[in-house]
């Protein structure tokens, strides 16, 4: 039985490692995208400042709108990654829960013990099971 438990434990560990690798991969991609977007925004801001330097304040409004649009896109990407991460965590939690209940046994019509202490109740349960 101990070998089976070890095998199950190894399988769960492997599955959790796969999920962890997927999360790390997604986060790496997000970091790359954020760095790229930040550079794009910085370059755009510099170019716009160079082009529109000395013009009316309306140009700065144009730059602000463009930067706001870019930031909205980045925010949407971050939200999507956060949702993916939450879903992955939920899946991992569900797998752990299933694995923890895998070897549970349900017995019906077993009389409840009236003992006050948990230790005594466990002993009575063991006595009942030895007669079954």
Per-residue pLDDT reduced to its tens digit, 52-66: 665 555 767 777 888
Highest mean pLDDT among 2-6, 56-60, 117-121: 117-121
pLDDT at 97 over 80: yes
pLDDT at 17 over 60: yes
DSSP-assigned letter for residue 132: -
Per-residue pLDDT reduced to its tens digit, 40-56: 777 777 777 766 665 55
Tokens of 34: 């954020």
In this predicted structure, what is the pLDDT of residue 29? 81
In this predicted structure, what is the pLDDT of residue 68? 86
Please list, residue by residue across 85-118, b when 16 or more beta carbons sit within 10 angstroms of its beta carbon and e when fewer do. eeeeeeebeeeeeebeeeeeeeeeeeeebeeeee
3-state DSSP of 68-122: HHHHHHHHHHHHHHHHHHHHHHHHHHHHHHHHHHCCCCCCCCCCCCCCCCHHHHH
Overall pTM surpassing 0.75 (yes/no) = no
pLDDT at 103 over 70: yes
In this predicted structure, what is the pLDDT of residue 53? 62
């Amino acid at each position: 039985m101990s070998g089976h438990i070890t095998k199950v434990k190894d399988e769960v560990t492997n599955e959790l490692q796969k999920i962890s690798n997927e999360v790390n991969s997604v986060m790496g991609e997000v970091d790359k995208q954020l760095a790229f977007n930040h550079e794009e925004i910085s370059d755009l801001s510099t170019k716009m400042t160079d082009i529109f330097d000395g013009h009316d304040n309306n140009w700065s409004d144009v730059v602000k709108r463009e930067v706001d649009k870019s930031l909205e896109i980045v925010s949407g990407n971050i939200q999507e990654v956060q949702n993916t991460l939450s879903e992955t965590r939920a899946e991992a939690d569900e797998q752990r829960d299933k694995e923890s209940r895998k070897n549970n046994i349900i017995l019906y019509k077993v009389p409840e013990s009236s003992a006050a202490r948990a230790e005594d109740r466990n002993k009575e349960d063991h006595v009942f099971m030895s007669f079954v």
